[in-house]
Structure 1
Amino acid sequence: MQPVFFALLSRMQNVHRWNKSNPTRAENVAEHSFQVALFAHALGVIRNQVFTDKPPLDENKLAVMALFHDAPEVLTEDVNSGIKYSAPRMLELCREMEGIASELLIGTIPPSLQASYRPLIGHEEEGEMARFVKASDLLSAYTKALAELRAGNTEFEGTERKVLAALQPYIETLPEVAWFMANFVPAFHMTIDDLVEAAFEPS
């Protein structure tokens, strides 16, 4: 097998999200993964700097887990969540497909390196770290919906409600997510002019 792993992953920029929602601006899996990594890292920092009564988390590991969370989609393409979760059998088939894609991807890595990447590709860790990455994934989808609504795209009204409902359990059980929502998400309602003014106004 040729070591084509990174060449394949670079094609994540060609895998588009939200195709069934008519976005005003296309979003690809590579940029989505980058944003999820930013958010996951931030949640780890918030845990370690704000909620110091809780056990610390490795924010750098969270970022790396998030970077790879959708890697199998370079082979499977992005599956609309409404379709994926429409029926138990559909979810089962999608997960089976993702598992096959994960193994194919791992096979494109030289054997001496596979042990380092196997836990990141389609074999998400259980527990709190995985919940932080999932919350970050939903935060990325939520802020995308806000951006589309700000652009006047009513197609995302249902998306905003659905993703916020999916986020609610994380907001209620992970104070880091609630803190992020309260402190960082409001800025996603702002225009670029408002953002620049807020960033450089005298403190």
Structure 2
Amino acid sequence: MNDHKGFFAMMARMKYIERWALMRNSVSENICEHSLEVAMLAHGLGIIGRKRFGKDLSPERLAMLGMYHDCTEIITGDMPTPVKYANDELKEAYKAIEDSAAHRLLEMLPEDLRAEYESYFLPEQITPEEYRYVKAADKLSALIKCIEEEKTGNQEFRSAKQATYESLQQMNMPEVTVFCETFLPEYYKTLDELEH
């Protein structure tokens, strides 16, 4: 029986859910690592949007949304994208499963704390604009993973890198353009090159 104390122990299990299950990885990545990166990237995109383009954004909220964006996978596992979006029926079914998982996780919080977390977990409390920034950060994280794998000599991610980059460009977000032009080239460098 759920005594409404298991939320944080469940969140800690994010580190056990591996990503990129269909690909040969040189370096494994779990959803805890990925979520931290997405949170940082969403926060950065929010700051770029606010500072460079005068948009009314909360980078801190975007960071929190990024941090929790995949936590339902603690329950569902990481469903590979080609499967998740294979057709509309699967897409809708998976959305329903994610929604159910989000509610299950929220129910692991004491009732007086639950409302504070609902705005990060429930899709109806996330604006389309917020969702767009987190999605862009998620795609940037995937692109960075592809670059890192390529740097190790792993060609398994070559087509994923191209598809992800094209998908990012199609989002038509000036913040993404700024990030890709300013920060993305640095991911190709070694540690020594970054420090000099």
For 1:145 and 1:44, the matched residues in 2 are separated by 23
Q: CA deviation at 1:145?
A: 0.4
Q: Percent identity?
A: 33
Equivalent-residue separation in structure 1 for 2:42 and 2:32 (angstroms) = 15
Which amino acid is 2:34 matched to?
H
Q: Which amino acid aligns with 1:179?
A: V
Tell whether 2:43 aligns with 1:41: yes
Once the two structures are superposed, residues 67-94 of structure 1 have per-residue CA deviations (whole angstroms, 9 ceiling, x without a partner) of: 1111101111111101111122211221
**Matches of 1:114 and 1:189 in 2, distance apart?**
42
Say whether 1:126 aligns with 2:127: yes
Deviates more, 1:122-131 or 1:13-22: 122-131
Question: What is aligned with 1:88?
Answer: 88
Deviation string, structure 1 residues 80-123 (Cα, Å, up to 9, x no partner) = 10111112221122111111111111110111111111121142
Q: What is the TM-score normalised by the length of structure 2?
A: 0.94
Residue 153 of structure 1 pairs with residue 159 of structure 2: no
Counterpart of 2:189 in structure 1 is 190
User: 1-side partners of 2:95 and 2:55: how far apart?
Assistant: 32
User: Normalising by the residue count of structure 1, what TM-score does the alignment of the two structures yield?
Assistant: 0.91
SS of equivalent residue, structure 2 residue 135? helix
Cα distance in 1 for partners of 2:20, 2:174 equals: 29
Counterpart amino acid of 1:191? T
The one-letter amino acid of 1:45's match is I
Matched, 1:163 2:161: no
Aligned to 1:201: none
> Where do 4+ consecutive residues of structure 1 move more than 4 Å?
none
Taking the aligned partners of 2:86 and 2:65, their CA distance within structure 1 comes to: 27
Q: Which amino acid aligns with 2:20?
A: W
Instruction: Confirm or deny: 8 A CA contact 1:72 1:122 kept in the other structure.
Output: no
CA distance in 2, matches of 1:97, 1:186: 37
Question: Could you tell me which residue of structure 2 aligns to residue 200 of structure 1?
Answer: none
After superposition, the Cα gap between the structure-2 partners of 1:20 and 1:69, relative to the gap in structure 1 and judged at 3 Å, is: same
For residue 55 of structure 1, report the CA deviation from its aligned partner: 2.9
Counterpart mapping for 1:7-22 below 5 A? 7-22=9-24
Give the residue type in structure 2 aligned to 1:28.
Answer: N
Give ranges in structure 1 of 5+ residues lacking alignment. 198-203
Question: Is contact 1:36-1:66 (8 Å) kept?
Answer: yes
Question: How much does 1:56 deviate?
Answer: 2.4
Shift of 1:165: 1.9
Q: Distance in 2 between matches of 1:118 and 1:57?
A: 19
Matched AA of 2:189: M
Aligned to 2:101: 101
